[in-house]
Amino acid sequence: MKQKWLFIGDSITDSGRNQDSERLGYGYVRMIRDEILKKDAVEIINKGVSGDRITDLEERWSRDVLSVQPDVVSISIGINDVWRQLDHPEMDQIMPHDFKKIYEELVEKVGSLGAKCILMEPTIIEERIDSIGNQKLLPYVEIVRQLAVKYDAILVPTHIAFIEELKKDQGTLTTDGVHMTETGNQLMAKIWLETCVDKLL
């Protein structure tokens, strides 16, 4: 029986999945699926939704994760929790304390399924290491790292990988400072595969 690997997050994970007949989208999730097909039989499920913050994941967790009964849950969230502080300061904001509390509850629910949890660090906000977005993102990245240790989850160091690429100043990783170019998606897929596959298959 095929294992079910479920990816959930925001637009970076969504990547146009509703316009794709396979419902995988055109980003890093598809790239991971294409590579996994060469190795083993795994069903890849994309549950990314554009614009999502951690509170949105919380609202749909039972429907989109728990009811699916996946064997692996890969979570990529946090960018919009910070970006909304910059582009929509009038909104109710999700500060690090609340982000951690909700995220922890979601990871615990994955554990109750007996599924393996994979936590992806939030990537970047603007392609400048010292941007306000990247500075505000740091506490959220640290929370993801702490939760990975606490719950024995696999940590995918996507933030570190993107920062290292920015230091090289070669190519463009995003279309607008957040959403991935082909190069950005390839980097996400590469780091995920290198970190996770040997631990899952």
How many separate domains does the chain show? Answer: 1
Single pTM value for the model: 0.97
Task: Verify whether residue 179 is a known catalytic residue.
Answer: yes
Task: Verify whether residue 14 is a known catalytic residue.
Answer: no
Residue 4, beta-bridge partner list: 43
* pLDDT, position 201: 83
Residue 77, pLDDT > 80, answer: yes
CA distance 29 to 33: 6
Q: Which domain holds residue 56?
A: 3-200
* pLDDT, position 190: 98
CA distance 107 to 148: 9
Closest CA to 138 of 164, 165, 160: 160
Catalytic residue selected from 10, 11, 14, 74: 11
Note the pLDDT tens digit of each residue in 141-160. 999 999 999 999 999 999 99
Task: Verify whether residue 92 is a known catalytic residue.
Answer: no
CATH label of the domain that carries residue 40: 3.40.50.1110
Note the pLDDT tens digit of each residue in 86-101. 999 999 999 999 999 9
